[in-house]
Amino acid sequence: YAIFPVLAPAFIAFKSITNSDFRKTSFSLYSLVSGATANPITKEWYFQDKELLDILWSKVPSAKCYVDDAIGEPRLEYQLSEGYCGSATQRCILRSFGLSPESIPAQKNGETKPGPWCEHVCQMAKEATEGNMELETTIVGGDVDY
């Protein structure tokens, strides 16, 4: 362990002198870290403040459906990895109608197109409730002001 603090600076100095790619990468990394330090995410508009989220989970009726009554904490459906956003969103929609996570098909990878996606949400709701739930979906374009 004592040798690392001695050799690491020498190695970095040597690579910086002899390898231009190493210098560029080091500079890029330094810029990235210094930028993150100067502009922390907590100051960005999209930062999710825990106290505000706690208020949301406890007071907004549409958010209450995602709270696990057993532990009193939100239980959201995040996408498993890139490419799973459509099926994760489908599951969240159906859970907002009160369907249990177990009754909804698992997330899957793949492209999601609006038309078939809407039909699929309606079909999953009907199947999960054994025909007792009928949904109507509307595709809202990206140019609509929410």
For 21-79, how does the pLDDT look when each residue is reduced to its tens digit (9 = 90+)? 888 888 888 887 887 777 777 777 767 777 887 787 778 877 776 676 766 666 677 77
Beta bridge partners of 67: 74
Give the count of alpha carbons within 13 A of 144, CB side only: 5
Count of beta carbons in the 10 Å neighbourhood of residue 104: 20
Q: What are phi and psi for residue 74, nearest 5 degrees?
A: -65, 145
Whether the pTM exceeds 0.75: the reply is: no
Q: Strand (E) positions, the chain?
A: 67-68, 73-74
Residue in the structure block whose two tokens are 């907590």 = 42
Residues across the chain: 146
